Homo-oligomer: A and B are copies of this chain.
Amino acid sequence: MDARIASTRQKIEIYGADAGGLANCPIRNVVDVISGKWSSLLLMALAEKPYRFGALRRLVPDISQRMLTQTLRDLQRDGYVHREVFATTPPSVEYSLTDMGRSMYGAMEHLLHWAENNYPGVQAARRDYDAAAA
């Protein structure tokens, strides 16, 4: 048997069923964060340069304040985003990618680019599927 097959099967079995179920699956733990409704957009923004809270809000106009706060906190908790408070009046807070955040973004960037370049193909497949179903 191909070693790669055994390897992947093992990974799936390990992370799929046993202790803690998927809770301990690295893939799940990382993908979960970037799969939030706003995470990829915010990571894209912060990959360019640091932004303040209000600036991010303007950049992603239809995000609610609650979700902006929460998504940033989640990204910070996992070590992707650094939060720095400046004791100005009124206070300002700047968000930026950590080294780990940049590293992770470098890995997910491939997928984002694929999405942009191949979206027409996905749309076409979807149309075909829906047409066949009708």
Contact = CB atoms under 8 A, between A and B. Distances in A.
Contacts of A103: 114, 118
A125 B100 contact: yes
Contacts of A2: 48
**Copies of the polypeptide in the assembly:** 2
A26 interface: yes
B78 A17 contact: no
B29 A31 contact: no
Secondary structure call for the A interface: helix
A68 B57 CA distance: 37
A96 B48 CA distance: 37
Contacts of A118: 30, 100, 103-104
Contact of A111 (B8, B21, B111, B116): B111
Interface of A: 2, 4-5, 8-9, 11-13, 15-17, 21-22, 26-32, 34-35, 37, 40-41, 44-45, 47-49, 59-63, 76-79, 100, 103-104, 107-108, 110-116, 118-119, 121-126, 128-130
